[in-house]
């Protein structure tokens, strides 16, 4: 058997406000939706304190007097009873007796230390089964549980009885609604108004589903958290939107866009745009706009004054309703009528999970297409910039004997200062800064030792304010500024720490100007004053292997500058001599635009190859995502079919259980009727037999009484005769005794007379 156990926090927790307590009560009932079969009032074995008594009163206060019909008192710490039984323990306390009596005499004992003893659990389940049979119910809906709800009329007034078929309807609501909108729009209060509740719940970034009876039909309301500009990741947004559809399986009848009545905010518009992007524009057939918190203005006046709201309503199919979250009444019925009318118009009548999955596939296709279009646009821009660079277009007037230099280096390496040192005057802006002072290519001209010199300063490599592509595009312009082509690329590196960016500089030059560019590259170390007594050769020999490899990659061509010693012309003259030597090594030529174009062509080919590989990778990823989504869709369909099959099997099982229960009930009733008839027949036979036996016993008693009467009469006669004989004998004895006494008296009198006569005679004689 599948069992759901909900642990509710302590009812006497003084830290909880009344609103929090009511929320926890409603949360407890929603977690046991469609309603708990039993309430277990847990009481610890021991003295029944005032706190325990208040807990019982609290149950009645929160759940109503009717809840006691569904309550079982569960005593814990049963090992403390030792040899005493639970009945003896309850009888020993009048308060406990009263509590158990109020709960219909239902109580049970648990020993939580002995978890392996499953018999105590089975006994509790049997007790709850008996409780369900007594109440004729299989659930207690959460909508009718609190006394104050009964008093205010917001609830049904008592725990409703339901059948197995009612429970099945609880699992499959006849109307499924999803509320969506920005944070603070009033989705929770709108859901309360629809379901006829007064719940206060904390805002959570997850979907929440509630069920309730509205106008005689079971309604499911799913609250979708705000999606736009809330910090949720793409995966979290996808998960919650998919969950809102799954919670409304087999489909959503209506999406209610909740918007406070008033001017639309960017969040309102962004929420709808993102919602339509996720669910596809097809979802507009299932959307109704719900304007909330409108006070006294008429709805037509409200829309006439708000153009944005009119456009939004048109985007949602023209369906809207002005909704007050403080009143219920006719507006809920009006909303249900609008939803019913919309459902009848739609085919299919609800937004299904398959439609959602198709919308996700279409969304992925749109994003991939946008990425490809963006890459194509960037390629066309690069091709256009390359075409604009023509050999010698910017420098036909340049003297062929002019020494043309291009300064390249990391931001802050001293390129601009070195250019000023070479030209002998401040032609380029040079300051101490964390960012690149030069953001575009700049050209400066001058004479050094009587020779014309052109210096082109470029933006700093690895600049934090510009992307690598933007820097490369700008540096590429140095070719036209140094037309017909630079004699040397001067890679400027600061004496001191050799960073990873500077190690990658040569590779970046190759990527920008091609493989031949390294033959025209010379390294210029700045801040030569920091070498002190050390020569630049010694500095390189003592440097890192990466620095030495960089110098070798540039043909061991290097020089050092102290830009603080601008009056030292020797360092500039020596640089020109090294450049002349480089030019001689390159056959007296310079880096031409044709070389750059060849490099650009090679780079473009490489970019095209990378782009093709990227497109193939995107196509592969797209195919993988499509396959994955198809698998997920198939898996979801399979789960939905399994769930539908499971629910159908569950429905059939419950119907079969109900049928069997009804058959057993009918059989029990027939058996009880037969037993009653047999009992009545036996009772009548017993009565007849008892009457007969009673009559016989009465006759026997009367005969015995008659005989006894005769015996008594005979005994009475005998006793009378004995008494008469005794009386005669007694009288004879009395007569005899009387005669004897009289004789004795006469003798005494005679004797006295004689004595008297004798005394008289003697007196006379005397």
Q: Which range, 168-177, 269-278, 352-361, 364-373, has the best average confidence (pLDDT)?
A: 269-278
pLDDT at 400: 46
CA distance 305 to 303: 5
Beta-strand ranges (E) seen in 133-188 are 175-180
Cα four-point dihedral sign 719, 724, 728, 734: positive
* Residue 461 pLDDT level (bands cut at 50, 70, 90): low
Please answer whether residues 486 and 478 qualify as being in contact, where contact means their C-beta atoms are separated by less than 8 angstroms. yes
pLDDT > 90 fraction of the chain, expressed in percent and rounded? 5
Provide DSSP, 625-645: HHHHHHHHHHHHHHHHHHHHH
Range 18-135 classified under CATH 3.40.50.300? yes
315-329, 532-546, 719-733: which range is least confident on average?
Answer: 315-329
**What is the percent of the chain with per-residue pLDDT over 70, rounded to a whole number?**
78
Q: What number is the average pLDDT over the span 45-61?
A: 72
Is 295 within 8 Å of 327 (Cβ atoms)?
A: no
What is the reported pLDDT for 702? Answer: 86
Residue 468 — pLDDT band, cuts 50, 70, 90? low
pLDDT at 202: 63
Tokens encoding 282 = 């097809």
Q: Which of 436, 439, 405, 437 is nearest to 422 (CA)?
A: 405
- When pLDDT is cut at 50, 70 and 90, the band that residue 164 belongs to is very low
Least confident of 119-133, 380-394, 497-511, 621-635: 380-394
Query: Would you say residue 297 has pLDDT above 60?
Result: no
Lowest-confidence range among 158-162, 281-285, 670-674? 158-162
Counting Cβ atoms within 10 Å, is residue 685 exposed (0-12), middle (13-18) or buried (19+)?
exposed
Residues in the chain: 766
The dihedral sign for the CA sequence 278, 281, 283, 286: positive
When pLDDT is cut at 50, 70 and 90, the band that residue 187 belongs to is confident
Residue 263 neighbours by CB under 8 Å, 6+ apart = 306, 308
Give me the pLDDT at residue 16, please. Answer: 60
Query: Inter-axis angle of helices 593-765 and 505-513, to 10 degrees?
Result: 130
**What is the reported pLDDT for 386?**
55
Q: In this predicted model, which residue has the larger pLDDT, 557 or 369?
A: 557
- What does the pLDDT average to over 616-640? 74
pLDDT at 172 over 80: no
| CATH number assigned to the domain with residue range 403-591, chosen from the 4 options 3.40.50.80, 3.40.50.300, 3.40.50.2300, 3.30.1370.60 | 3.40.50.300
Residue 34: is the preceding peptide bond cis (ω within 30°)? yes
Residue 34 has a pLDDT of 67
Decide if pLDDT at 136 tops 60. Answer: no
Weakest-pLDDT range from 323-332, 345-354, 416-425, 692-701 = 323-332
SS3 per residue for 557-573: CEEECCCCCCCCCHHHH
Q: What is the pLDDT of residue 288?
A: 93
Question: CA 660 to CA 650: how far, in whole Å?
Answer: 15
CA pair distance 421, 415, nearest whole angstrom = 10
**Nearest CA to 131 among 161, 167, 86?**
161
Domain 175-363, what architecture?
3-Layer(aba) Sandwich (3.40)
Q: Answer positive or negative: Cα dihedral of 538, 539, 543, 545.
A: negative
| Interatomic CA distance for residues 765 and 433, integer angstroms | 196
Cα–Cα separations (whole angstroms), residue 232 to 208, 228, 258: 17, 8, 20
Rounded to 5 degrees, what angle do the CA atoms 220, 223, 228 make? 150
| CA triple 459-463-465, angle to 5 deg | 105
Which range has highest mean pLDDT (66-75, 498-507, 592-601)?
66-75
Exposure string for 558-588, b = 16+ CB within 10 A, e = fewer: bbbbbbeeeeeeebbeebbebbeebbeeeee
CA 439/CA 329 separation, integer angstroms: 68
pLDDT bracket for residue 594 (50, 70, 90): low
pLDDT value at position 148? 40
Checking if the pLDDT of 438 tops 60, the result is no
All CATH 3.40.50.300 domain ranges in the chain, comma separated: 18-135, 175-363, 403-591
pLDDT of residue 287: 93
3 state DSSP class of 179:
strand
**Residues 53-58: contacts with CB within 8 Å, 24+ apart?**
53/95, 53/99, 54/12, 55/11, 55/12, 56/99, 56/102, 58/11, 58/12
pLDDT of residue 257: 92
Q: Which residue has the higher pLDDT, 653 or 477?
A: 653
Look at residue 367 and tell me whether its pLDDT is greater than 80: yes
Give the closest residue to 239 by CA, choosing from 205, 285, 272: 205
pLDDT of residue 509: 74
pTM for the model stands at 0.38
Residues 6+ apart with CB under 8 A from 409: 415, 460, 461, 491, 492, 493, 505
Strands (DSSP E) along 350-441, which ranges?
403-409
φ/ψ of 499, rounded to 5, equals -90, 170
How does pLDDT run across 651-704, given as a tens digit for each residue?
788 788 888 888 888 888 888 888 888 888 888 888 888 888 888 888 888 888
Average per-residue pLDDT for the chain? 77
CA separation for the pair 245, 240 (Å, rounded): 9
The per-residue pLDDT for 159 is 37
**How would residue 140 be classed by pLDDT, with cut points 50, 70 and 90?**
very low
The model's confidence at residue 347, banded by pLDDT at 50, 70 and 90, is confident
In tens, the pLDDT along 217-261 reads 888 899 999 988 887 888 888 888 988 888 888 889 999 999 988
Q: Give the position of tokens 């104050």.
A: 148
Which helix or strand (DSSP H or E) is residue 385 part of?
A: helix 353-387
More confident residue, 541 or 631: 541
Report the largest interatomic distance among the alpha carbons of the chain, rounded to a whole angstrom: 230
pLDDT score for 385? 56
């Amino acid at each position: 058997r599948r069992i759901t156990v909900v642990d509710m926090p302590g009812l006497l927790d003084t830290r909880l406000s009344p609103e929090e307590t009511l929320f926890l009560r409603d949360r407890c009932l929603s977690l046991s939706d469609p309603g708990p079969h039993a309430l277990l009032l847990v009481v610890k074995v021991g003295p029944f304190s005032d706190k325990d008594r208040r807990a019982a009163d609290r149950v009645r206060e929160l759940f109503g007097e009717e809840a006691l019909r569904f309550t079982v008192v569960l005593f814990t710490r049963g090992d403390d009873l030792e040899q005493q039984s639970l009945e003896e323990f309850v009888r020993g306390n009048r308060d406990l007796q009263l509590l158990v009596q109020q709960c219909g005499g239902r109580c049970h004992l648990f020993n939580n230390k002995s978890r392996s003893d499953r018999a105590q659990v089975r006994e509790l389940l049997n007790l709850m089964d008996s409780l369900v049979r007594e109440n004729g119910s299989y659930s207690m809906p959460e909508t009718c549980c609190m006394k104050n709800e009964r008093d205010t009329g917001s609830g049904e007034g008592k725990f409703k009885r339901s059948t197995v078929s009612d429970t099945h309807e609880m699992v499959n609501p006849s109307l499924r609604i999803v509320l969506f909108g920005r944070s603070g729009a009033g989705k929770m209060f709108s859901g309360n108004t629809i379901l006829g509740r007064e719940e206060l719940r904390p805002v959570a970034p997850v979907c929440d589903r509630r069920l309730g009876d509205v106008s005689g039909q079971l309604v499911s309301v799913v609250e979708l958290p705000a999606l736009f500009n809330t910090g949720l990741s793409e995966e979290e947004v996808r998960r919650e939107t998919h969950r809102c559809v799954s919670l409304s399986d087999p489909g959503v009848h209506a999406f209610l866009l909740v918007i406070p009545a008033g001017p639309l905010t960017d969040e309102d518009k962004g929420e709808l745009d993102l919602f339509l992007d996720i669910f596809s524009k097809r979802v507009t057939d299932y959307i109704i706009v719900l304007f909330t918190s409108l006070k006294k203005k008429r709805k037509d006046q409200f829309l006439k004054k708000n153009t944005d709201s009119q456009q939004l309503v048109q985007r949602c199919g023209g369906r809207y309703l002005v909704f007050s979250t403080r009143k219920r009444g006719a507006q809920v019925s009006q909303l249900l009528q609008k939803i019913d009318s919309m459902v009848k118009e739609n085919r299919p009548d609800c937004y299904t999970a398959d439609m959602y999955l198709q919308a996700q596939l279409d969304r992925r296709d749109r994003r991939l297409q946008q990425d490809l279009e963006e890459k194509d646009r960037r390629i066309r821009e690069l091709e256009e910039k390359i075409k604009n660079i023509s050999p010698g277009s910017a420098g036909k007037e340049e003297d062929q004997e002019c020494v043309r230099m291009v300064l390249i280096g990391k931001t802050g390496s001293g390129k601009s200062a070195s250019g000023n040192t070479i030209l002998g005057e401040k032609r380029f802006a040079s300051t101490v800064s964390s960012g690149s002072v030069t953001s575009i290519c700049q050209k400066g001209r001058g004479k050094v030792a009587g020779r014309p010199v052109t210096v082109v300063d470029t933006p700093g490599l690895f600049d934090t304010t510009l992307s690598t592509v933007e820097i490369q595009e700008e540096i590429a312009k140095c070719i036209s500024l140094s037309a017909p082509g630079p004699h040397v690329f001067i890679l400027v590196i600061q004496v001191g720490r050799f960073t990873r960016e500077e190690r990658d500089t040569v590779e970046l030059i190759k990527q920008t100007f091609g493989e031949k560019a390294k033959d025209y590259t010379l390294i210029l170390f700045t801040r030569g004053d920091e070498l002190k007594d050390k020569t630049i050769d010694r500095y390189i020999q003592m440097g890192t292997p990466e620095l030495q490899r960089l110098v070798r990659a540039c043909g061991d061509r290097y020089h050092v500058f102290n830009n603080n010693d601008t009056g030292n012309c020797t360092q500039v003259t020596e640089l020109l001599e090294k450049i002349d030597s480089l030019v001689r090594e390159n056959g007296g030529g310079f880096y031409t635009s044709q070389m750059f174009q060849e490099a650009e062509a090679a780079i473009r080919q490489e970019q095209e190859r990378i782009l093709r590989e990227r497109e193939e990778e995107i196509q592969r990823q797209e195919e993988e995502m499509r396959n994955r989504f198809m698998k997920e869709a198939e898996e979801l369909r399979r789960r939905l079919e399994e769930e539908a099959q499971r629910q159908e099997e569950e429905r059939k099982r419950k119907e079969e259980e109900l049928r069997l229960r009804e058959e057993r009930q009918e059989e029990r009733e027939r058996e009880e009727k037969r037993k009653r008839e047999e009992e009545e027949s036996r009772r009548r036979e017993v009565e007849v037999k008892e009457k007969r036996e009673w009559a016989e016993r009465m006759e026997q008693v009367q005969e015995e009484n008659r005989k006894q009467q005769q015996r008594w009469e005979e005994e009475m006669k005998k006793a009378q005769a004995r008494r008469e004989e005794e009386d005669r004998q007694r009288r004879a004895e009395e007569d005899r005794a009387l005669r004897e006494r009289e004789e004795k008296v006469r003798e005494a009198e005679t004797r006295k007379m004689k004595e008297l006569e004798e005394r008289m005679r003697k007196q006379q004689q005397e």
